[in-house]
Amino acid sequence: MSNEKPFVSAHATDAPVTPAFVVDEESLARQAESFTAAMAAVWPTGIVSYSVKTNSLPWIVSWMAKRGIWAEVVSDHEYRLALALGHSPDKIVFNGPAKSRETMLAALSTGAIVNIDSRRELRWVLEYAKNPPSGSVKVGVRVNWDVDAECPGDTASGAAGLRFGFDVSSGDLAGVLDSLKEHGVSVAALHLHVTSLSRAIGTYQSAARVAASIVEQHRLSLDYLDIGGGFYGGENPAFPSPEEYLVAIRDGLDGAIDPATTRLVIEPGSALVAVAVEFHTSVLDSKPAGDHVIVVTDGSRTNIDPFFRKESYEYSIRTTGRPALARQVICGFTCLDNDRLMTLEEAPELSEGDTITYKKVGSYTMCFNPLFINQLPTVYVRHCDGTLGIARHAWGEKEYLAANDWNA
């Protein structure tokens, strides 16, 4: 729960119609600025590239482009989305294990940083390099290294090892780099990303050390060193600041890479959007059940905890209710029995029309929302002057039926 007093004893007059996500533009700008400013200070040629998958709301993807933040995409769809929303083709980082040949080569030929991640992508690049439409061919290569050996417990993959990239320890990466060189393809980038559990600095130091040793061993001259995402973004001093991450990366390279000639790329997702998004819900009903009260709301756990893993949220409540005597179990609108978001103890008694707002729910939530029972909720933007705009209208039957032919 936040330090902020979670209970406000009045009904809002300017509140969004629930259920709805609200993107707070000021908070988004603060997060973006914390990374762009740190980059400018530590690695002046560096690039901040927003991880589109984290929250692909068109308003957010477009907002990033308008602020000079690049797009990191991992599918043909995301690549086309970024272009459609104003990202220039030479300011896109294209990762992901399942690119199509056509889109990957289109991205390559129009200046994107393309980081290859599979044997088929390697084959396509080598074929393309036989007869490139113009000049030299440059690609990035994704690296799979034993990060868990150096940073046990810090990554989601743990001892099972990373899933992405070409393996350093077996010599597979060396084979890929040699093969590219033999075919006249320049290795312009190395990409080292881990799914961080702890958001600790150690995985970045490990990535930097590994990158430095690959660069030295293979005498690479990189245009880009892409260190991926996984950063913490918020105000908790127990976590590293953007600047501390970047300094750790720079120092970990120990002079093997020159910031004047190689641009550092980072791909923050959660760190940019998590704190900027709220989910507003209203109470539909409450009724006693045994020793507790079931409170049904118009938002669902599927909206903000798609993996059903969270145990607590930062939230605030608007109610005029008196202190409740019983535990209140906050439930969602779906028919899933486990669509229960949280249990409130010693909170005001909730009744129809009261609201619950969940905070910091911007990453890997909105883009995982299912079309289950109800369609996608409205998304508002709270602009810096406090006004609300609608960034996405709620989906209903019209949107659902638009892609269907029930006479097929």
Ligand X SMILES: Cc1ncc(COP(=O)(O)O)c(C=O)c1O
Q: Footprint of ligand X on this chain (CB under 6 A)?
A: 51, 54, 72, 95, 193, 195, 228-231, 267-271, 363
| Polymer length of the chain | 408
CA distance 383 to 114: 34
**Residue nearer to ligand X on the CB measure, 123 or 163:** 163
**Residue nearer to ligand X on the CB measure, 195 or 213:** 195
Q: How far is the CB of 36 from ligand X (least distance, A)?
A: 15
Q: How far is the CB of 35 from ligand X (least distance, A)?
A: 10
Dihedral, CA of residue 271, residue 274, residue 277 and residue 283, to nearest 10: -170
Residues 6+ apart with CB under 8 A from 146: 161, 168, 169
**Residue nearer to ligand X on the CB measure, 243 or 327:** 243
- What are the C-alpha distances in Å from 330 to residues 64, 76, 183, 282, 400? 35, 39, 60, 11, 28
CA distance 214 to 194: 17
Q: How far is the CB of 25 from ligand X (least distance, A)?
A: 20
**Residue nearer to ligand X on the CB measure, 268 or 348:** 268
**Residue nearer to ligand X on the CB measure, 222 or 330:** 222
**Residue nearer to ligand X on the CB measure, 229 or 348:** 229
Q: How far is the CB of 297 from ligand X (least distance, A)?
A: 27
Q: How far is the CB of 67 from ligand X (least distance, A)?
A: 17
Q: How far is the CB of 230 from ligand X (least distance, A)?
A: 4
**Residue nearer to ligand X on the CB measure, 60 or 342:** 60
Residue matched to tokens 């200046």: 111
**Residue nearer to ligand X on the CB measure, 305 or 339:** 305
Q: How far is the CB of 195 from ligand X (least distance, A)?
A: 6
Q: How far is the CB of 275 from ligand X (least distance, A)?
A: 12
CA distance 225 to 214: 11
